[in-house]
């Protein structure tokens, strides 16, 4: 019985260490789904940043009705609800998973962050762009 208890304590301590040491690997992910019928900007809800990492992460799902391509390009930018100038606009024509993007200026834990997105104007397809995924500010 003592060995099992020691094992549980070791697992708990290891988890606690990993949560404090890895920061961005455990940052909160927030899902999104967009359908763009034109070039109009859309935004996610805002979320409190869960860590002090100076990188945000993006994953774009390559499944379901998603139809991003080199002709149907997705563009996005991370935003802060106040003192916003933290990121530049990024475009994607390939699906990514856990793609890290550095902030352009300092951000902090608990900053309110949201992602702005649109179908990029360089898209040559007239088909609506459907895209879903997750981001961790």
**For residue 68, what are the domain limits?**
28-136
**Which tens digit of pLDDT belongs to each residue from 86-100?**
999 999 999 999 999
Per-residue pLDDT, 11: 42
Q: Is 80 contained in some domain?
A: yes
Nearest to 118 by CA among 41, 51, 45, 15: 41
Q: What is the CATH number of the domain that holds 43?
A: 2.60.120.380
d(CA 94, CA 43): 21
Task: Look at the block and give the residue holding tokens 């608990």.
Answer: 110
Q: Is 64 contained in some domain?
A: yes
The pTM assigned to this predicted structure is: 0.81
- Torsion over CA: 13, 17, 19, 20 (sign): positive
**Which tens digit of pLDDT belongs to each residue from 19-78?**
333 444 568 999 999 999 999 999 999 999 999 999 999 999 999 999 999 999 999 999
Contact at 8 Å (CB) between 136 and 28? yes
Q: Is 6 contained in some domain?
A: no
**Which tens digit of pLDDT belongs to each residue from 3-21?**
555 444 444 434 443 333 3
**Which tens digit of pLDDT belongs to each residue from 110-119?**
999 999 999 9
Per-residue pLDDT, 13: 38
Total of domains in the chain: 1
d(CA 68, CA 73): 6
Backbone φ, ψ for residue 25 (5° rounding): -65, -25
């Amino acid at each position: 019985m003592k060995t099992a208890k020691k094992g549980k304590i070791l697992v708990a301590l290891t988890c606690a260490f990993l949560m404090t040491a890895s920061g961005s690997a455990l940052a909160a992910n927030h899902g999104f789904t967009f359908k763009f019928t034109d070039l109009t900007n859309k935004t996610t809800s805002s979320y409190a940043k869960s860590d002090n990492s100076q990188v945000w992460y993006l994953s774009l799902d390559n499944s379901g009705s998603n139809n991003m391509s080199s002709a149907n390009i997705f563009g996005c930018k991370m935003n802060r609800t106040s003192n916003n100038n933290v990121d530049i606009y990024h475009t994607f024509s390939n699906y990514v998973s856990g793609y890290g993007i550095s902030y352009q200026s300092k951000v902090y834990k608990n900053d309110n962050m949201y992602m702005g997105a649109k179908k990029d104007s360089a898209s040559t397809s007239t088909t609506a762009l459907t895209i879903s995924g997750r981001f961790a500010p």
